[in-house]
Amino acid sequence: MQNITVALDAMGGDFGPRVTVPAAVQALSHFPELKVILVGDRNLITPHLSQLGYQNDARLSIEHCDRVISNSEKPSLALRNSSGSSMGTAIDLVANNAAGACVSGGNTGALMALSRFRLKLLPGIERPALISALPTASGGKTWMLDLGANVSSDADSLFQFAVMGSALAEQYLERPARVAILNIGAEEIKGNDLVKRCAEMLSQTQSVHFSGYTEGNQLLHDSADVVVCDGFVGNICLKACEGTAQLFIDKLKSHMMSSSIKGWIARKLFSGLFTELKTLNPDQYNGASLLGLRGIVIKSHGSADVPAVVNAIGEAVHEVKRQVPSRISDRLEAVLLERHY
Amino acid sequence: MQNITVALDAMGGDFGPRVTVPAAVQALSHFPELKVILVGDRNLITPHLSQLGYQNDARLSIEHCDRVISNSEKPSLALRNSSGSSMGTAIDLVANNAAGACVSGGNTGALMALSRFRLKLLPGIERPALISALPTASGGKTWMLDLGANVSSDADSLFQFAVMGSALAEQYLERPARVAILNIGAEEIKGNDLVKRCAEMLSQTQSVHFSGYTEGNQLLHDSADVVVCDGFVGNICLKACEGTAQLFIDKLKSHMMSSSIKGWIARKLFSGLFTELKTLNPDQYNGASLLGLRGIVIKSHGSADVPAVVNAIGEAVHEVKRQVPSRISDRLEAVLLERHY
């Protein structure tokens, strides 16, 4: 069994080591091939390890650094001051091949800027993109990108997102992924120039299985395997799904938590429904990948709890196993060959 | 009591007169001050009136026209060929003051192009915008615009949307409306140039109560009274909320519809919750207003059923009573004065 080393930004996210340290320990028990490097302030990390009764072993190490990049720090400033920060160091461990992937719940803009600068982009990629899997009504998954790595994109970038999304999704699907562009209507005449130009490019490409436009209300309804959009739209749209799902789950929960006899019956009979609805909240997954880099970077939710950070580490393990960057690279090469010859 | 005349595009929407005719008849019984002009093919309208046993009276008339603008027709083509179409004629009735408002469930792009051409924009407005009210967790409403009248916007247009949205929302709220811009984060550094420029303009304006940025997951959570965004983002985001809501409602429904004893219990336990969840689906409201015109135009969902079209007619009645275009005009004048002096 090949070892997989993940560098975890222990200071990232809203809760820092209080969540990342127990998550690292749990992840080690889930994934026997895993080694974790906790990157951050040793003085803040070790008390949590002691609290868990964790004995130092060869699978868990600490890479000490003093600085943390705050959530309000501008990416340009973070880039200049990244030296000695937990996020910068975690990315450096990947750049230096000391880790196969890094995971951070810190400032998204800074994570993208630092990753791009330290790891470099894959040939043929102009902008990295954040991708995540959304649950669908039938129990499947739809991968959506970009979820906010970029605040604006051109048609070439959107096209590259489609190629990268296909390459990632097909690692799970093991069949060609149906790729759709998120738009305000399914008809060909609908949309802005960006989506129209990207649609034209995709419809001329054999190596991506383009299925046309999809709309916001089709996202959780299996309309495509990969949904492509610019980062501004993707971020807002994903959060809109999450906010609506949470509202509905909260309403059901308040019925089930009622202390009345009705609440008791609901809990006894319909706990399955509650679980089902929770699995349909796109928020349940944690661990969005930053695709397009020469290394694996996983963004964890800032508000992620322990199981969610374990998921993000699991995503990192999975991508290392599947060698996602080189899969994307191969796919891009095929597309570029097709487009140029 | 002042009469209010609404021109209803009887051919618009997925079901045409089969839905619009019964909706007109129901609306007449709901609103005693209402008169309806059914605009469309008399030969297709009258059988539905007969079927309802409706006797012609002074409150319901038919304006005959042969042509229907299809959903796939490009707005530019619709504009050239609009003469004698049900949509074009309904708008003309407003332009000629024969009706106080028109309602159509037809092609949105065509409705916007025709309305703009025939009714003209209010002074100070560069682009009209589609606005609709979304239900919120606390039982309130949040007005959101633009929902797709434009596929792209500049900061000036977004600013004008904020002014128009405030003027409309305050007709209902009877207090200053909190206006937020939809963005990918609440922090000031987040977002694209469009939202940053609009935020700067709004923060310098006394006559709009600007409350900062809001995110997709806050939309149904009372974060603002008016949420401003460009039409591409707004349309996708609203549909994402609707699609998620529908998914959750369908899951609950499938439990309640089961013929087992559990289904019977679920119906007993969850009928109140089911009704509550349905009222939280943004899709429940019908009748988005096209703001910024010198006349009232209400867009009904293409898939609207009879009660939904009655709602859209109700929205038209409400806006005529409140004289929404002149309220917007007054508000714009105040803002322009403030900005120039």
Q: pLDDT tens for residues B269-317?
A: 788 888 888 888 877 778 899 999 999 999 998 888 999 999 999 999 9
pLDDT at B228: 97
**Yes or no, beta carbons of B248 and A280 under 8 Å apart:** yes
- The alpha carbons of chain A give a radius of gyration, in whole angstroms, of 21
DSSP A10-73: TT-SSSTHHHHHHHHHHHHHH-TTEEEEEEE-HHHHHHHHHHTTPPP-TTEEEEE--B---TTS
**Yes or no, beta carbons of A72 and B236 under 8 Å apart:** no
The residue of chain A nearest to residue B71, with distances taken between CA atoms, is: A187
**Yes or no, beta carbons of B251 and A273 under 8 Å apart:** yes
Residue B132 sits at φ, ψ, to 5 deg, of -145, 160
- Say yes or no: B130 contacts chain A, CB-CB below 8 A: no
Please determine whether the domains at A1-125+292-321 and A127-284 fall in the same fold group of CATH. yes
Closest by Cα among A114, A97, A102 to A40: A102
Tell me the H-state helices in chain B: 17-30, 42-51, 75-80, 86-95, 108-119, 155-173, 193-203, 231-256, 261-279, 306-322, 324-340
Residue B148 reports pLDDT greater than 70: yes
Residue B174 reports pLDDT greater than 60: yes
Angle, helices A306-322/A324-340, rounded to nearest 10 degrees: 50
**Yes or no, beta carbons of A252 and B273 under 8 Å apart:** yes
Burial of A90 (0-12, 13-18, 19+ CB in 10 A): buried
- Calculate the CA B298 to chain-centre distance: 6
pLDDT at B340: 64
pLDDT at A174: 86
- Tell me the three state secondary structure of residue A208: coil
**Yes or no, beta carbons of A184 and B244 under 8 Å apart:** no
- Say yes or no: A149 contacts chain B, CB-CB below 8 A: no
- Say yes or no: B184 contacts chain A, CB-CB below 8 A: yes
**Residues from chain A contacting residue B249 (CB–CB below 8 Å):** 248
pLDDT at A216: 93
- Say yes or no: B182 contacts chain A, CB-CB below 8 A: yes
**Yes or no, beta carbons of B184 and A215 under 8 Å apart:** no
d(CA A41, CA B150) in angstroms, rounded, equals 50
The residue of chain A nearest to residue B231, with distances taken between CA atoms, is: A184
A127-284: CATH homologous superfamily? Isopropylmalate Dehydrogenase (3.40.718.10)
Task: Classify strands A209-214 and A178-182 as parallel, antiparallel or unpaired.
Answer: parallel
pLDDT at B101: 97
Contact A102, A90 (CB under 8 A): yes
pLDDT at B232: 94
Contact B308, B333 (CB under 8 A): no
**Which tokens go with B242?**
């609707």
Tell me if ipTM is over 0.95. Answer: no
**Which tokens go with B266?**
């679920």
pLDDT at A256: 77
How would CATH label the architecture of B1-125+292-322?
3-Layer(aba) Sandwich (3.40)
- Say yes or no: A266 contacts chain B, CB-CB below 8 A: yes
pLDDT at B78: 86
pLDDT at A340: 64
pLDDT at A24: 96
Q: How many CB pairs under 8 A join A and B?
A: 163
**Yes or no, beta carbons of B71 and A187 under 8 Å apart:** yes
**Yes or no, beta carbons of A245 and B240 under 8 Å apart:** no
**Residues from chain B contacting residue A232 (CB–CB below 8 Å):** 184, 191-192, 233
Closest by Cα among A319, A316, A317 to A328: A319
Chain B nearest-CA distance from A129, in A, is 15
Chain A nearest-CA distance from B136, in A, is 9
Task: Identify the CATH number of the domain defined by range A1-125+292-321.
Answer: 3.40.718.10
Residue B341 reports pLDDT greater than 60: no
pLDDT at A341: 58
pLDDT at A134: 92
**Yes or no, beta carbons of A148 and B184 under 8 Å apart:** yes
**Yes or no, beta carbons of B216 and A240 under 8 Å apart:** yes
**Residues from chain A contacting residue B255 (CB–CB below 8 Å):** 270, 273
Q: What percent of chain B has pLDDT over 90?
A: 64
Name residues of chain A where pLDDT drops below 70: 1, 340-341
Name the more confident of B142 and B283. B142
In chain B, domain spans: 1-125+292-322
Residues recorded for chain A: 341
d(CA B178, CA B180) in angstroms, rounded, equals 7
Q: Which residues numbered 1-30 in A keep a CB inside 8 Å of some CB on B? A: none
**Yes or no, beta carbons of B244 and A239 under 8 Å apart:** no
Q: Which residues pair with A158 in a beta bridge?
A: none
pLDDT at B293: 95
List the end-to-end C-alpha distance of chain B, in Å, as a whole number. Answer: 41
pLDDT at A275: 81
- CB nearest to B277's CB, from A152, A251, A270: A251
**Residues from chain B contacting residue A237 (CB–CB below 8 Å):** 216, 236-237, 240
Q: Which distant-in-sequence residues (6+ apart) come within 8 Å of B90 by Cβ?
A: B7, B8, B9, B37, B39, B63, B99, B102, B103, B104
**Which tokens go with B329?**
């005009």
Residue B154 reports pLDDT greater than 70: yes
pLDDT class for B73, splitting at 50, 70, 90?
A: confident
The residue of chain B nearest to residue A264, with distances taken between CA atoms, is: B269
Contact B110, B75 (CB under 8 A): yes
CA distances from A244 to B140, B217, B295, B324 (A): 15, 7, 34, 30
pLDDT class for B1, splitting at 50, 70, 90?
A: low
pLDDT at A252: 84
Residue B27 reports pLDDT greater than 70: yes
- Say yes or no: B66 contacts chain A, CB-CB below 8 A: no
Residue of A72, A73, A108, A244 for testing the chain B interface, max B β-carbons within 10 Å: A244
Angle A187-B92-B126 from CA coordinates, rounded to 5°: 65
Chain B nearest-CA distance from A204, in A, is 23
**Residues from chain B contacting residue A219 (CB–CB below 8 Å):** 240, 243-244
